[in-house]
Amino acid sequence: MKPLIENKVLLLDELIKKVKALKQTGKVVVQSHGIFDLVHPGIIQHLNSAKKQGDVLIVTVVKDKDVRRGPGRPIFPENLRVENVASLEQVDYVCSVDDDMPFRCVKIIKPDIFAKGQAYKERDKEIHGKIFEEERELYFGKSKIYETAGFSFSSSLVIKDFLNIYSEETKIFLKTFSEKYGFHDILEKINNLQKLKVLLIGEGFIDEYQYCEPIGKSSKAHLVVNKYLSHEIFAGGAFAIANHLAGLCDDIQLISLLGNNDSKERFIMTSLKPNVKAKFFYRDDGPAIVKKRYINQYLNQKLFEVNYLNDDYINEDLETTIIGYLKSTIPSYDVVLISDFGHGFITNKIISVIEESSVKFAVNTQTNGANAGYNMITKYHNPTYVCLDESEVRLAARERYADIEAIAKSVARAVSSDYFIVTRGKKGSIGINRGGEVNRTPVFSTKVVDTVGAGDAFFAYTVPCIAQGMPLDLVSFIGNAVGALAVQIVCNRKPVEKHEFLEFIHALLK
């Protein structure tokens, strides 16, 4: 009698125990792992081949939150993808799993054989090269890797071609772009960024998301009373930018400002990636910056925000100490990033030192609720690269309605930047170089969970590319691809990883 579908679907802890028990009885356990968005002939051949390698076939299905394989993915939610796989006769057990670290579940589950499909054989070796070469045992333990036979059949290609994910304009752009740049060319350029020495100077802060639900109107005031449900805490601002950079470049140093009273330093240090070296300075007259947002969990809408900060400029003694450190440190780095949130850290004297000491420097001056209209890019001179959103450019030019391309050229000339990119949300981005060449790149996002932090991800990925001398159209493409991934992540819950980015552009360029 065939097992019912519901008996095949297990939680991860249940699957681990089941695999251990099966192996103890002498059964050979084979594991397949993937998204399984479309169960097409290539998938069937892969699973048939995998099943022949042992006695029991288990399949792990990547959860929705960790799917970064291409535009519009996943088409179907994880519960349906799990049910589809469980319906297949050759599959014995199915489980949905996290995939933050690719293939980590293989090491946890410990099958005898890990079966890899033909469709992504070469792609995975390029994108996850270390996993399949010198660090194989770290990721897979003692599991044997078996590459199944059969023809290559890409779900991403089917989805892209037949489900009309993008507009005609974007399809034409991607076709033209892919004729100029191949995936392997971009892969090589991205891998070369590892050698860059990067210094990041900026204000980091703690992002808090307080999730709640409305329970009624107050009887004593004109406000809606909300019930607390849960909360999350993230390392944001320059801390998030440092983590994005750390996946691209090996040598990252962060210079930031904390409050002496309740600095949050322990949380910050545990949130930073291991290759980020941090140098903190401390102000006595303010707390660690915390931005607390209250969110209707059901609607995923931000209700209001409370900031804990002192946005006055730091005192002269602290400024002098920081300047001394910058003068001795900046010349050792290939490129300097300035993440200026306008919260009192980066003074005019500090800006002058950065401008005088840097080989190359890039700037992002953020407009937020605490500084709207006051934190302008025009206080900087001769940057290598400027990255702003459209509202920040319009504020800098004091032009609300004029053509954005003309405004961007005007502001780029005013600050005398070599490269200038304006991000425009759903309208993509505009890039301008010193010679006046304009590049227009469409948006690649098809699913938006949260826009907070997307601009930081764009900035973090594009600065090393500019520093390495990549052409403007390629830099803009990279930034928009990263942005499409960043808007699928809640706030700064995690950085956009290099492997996720490479998987995404691999799908885009097919």
What is the per-residue pLDDT for 69?
A: 66
Same fold, 5-162 and 188-508: no
Q: CA-CA-CA-CA torsion for 46, 49, 53, 57, nearest 10 degrees? A: 50
- Please list, in sequence order, all residues whose beta carbon lies within 8 angstroms of the beta carbon of residue 59, skipping any fewer than 6 positions away: 31, 32, 33, 34, 36, 47, 85, 91, 93, 94, 95
| CA 223 vs CA 84, 210, 228, 301, 440: distances in Å | 46, 18, 16, 17, 44
| CA 78 vs CA 34, 47, 66: distances in Å | 11, 19, 11
Domain boundaries, the chain: 5-162, 188-508
Give CA–CA dist 158/172, Å, rounded.
17
- Please list, in sequence order, all residues whose beta carbon lies within 8 angstroms of the beta carbon of residue 105, skipping any fewer than 6 positions away: 12, 33, 60, 97, 98, 99
348, containing H or E segment: helix 348-357
Fold classified for 188-508: UDP-N-acetylmuramoyl-L-alanine:D-glutamate ligase (3.40.1190)
Counting Cα atoms < 13 Å in the Cβ hemisphere of 492 gives 26
pLDDT of the chain, 510 residues: tens digit per residue:
456 787 899 999 999 999 999 999 999 999 999 888 878 778 888 899 999 999 999 999 999 888 876 666 788 889 999 999 999 999 999 999 988 777 788 888 999 998 887 655 555 666 666 555 544 554 566 678 887 765 455 555 555 554 567 888 998 999 999 999 999 999 999 999 999 999 999 999 999 999 999 999 998 899 999 999 999 999 999 999 999 999 999 999 999 999 998 899 999 999 999 999 999 999 999 999 999 999 999 888 999 999 999 999 999 999 999 999 999 999 999 999 999 999 999 999 999 999 999 999 999 999 988 888 899 999 999 999 999 999 999 999 999 999 999 999 999 999 999 999 999 999 999 999 998 899 999 999 888 889 999 999 999 999 999 999 999 999 999 999 999 999 999 999 999 999 889 988 988 887
485, containing H or E segment: helix 472-486
User: 5-162 — its CATH code?
Assistant: 3.40.50.620
pTM of the full predicted structure? Answer: 0.82
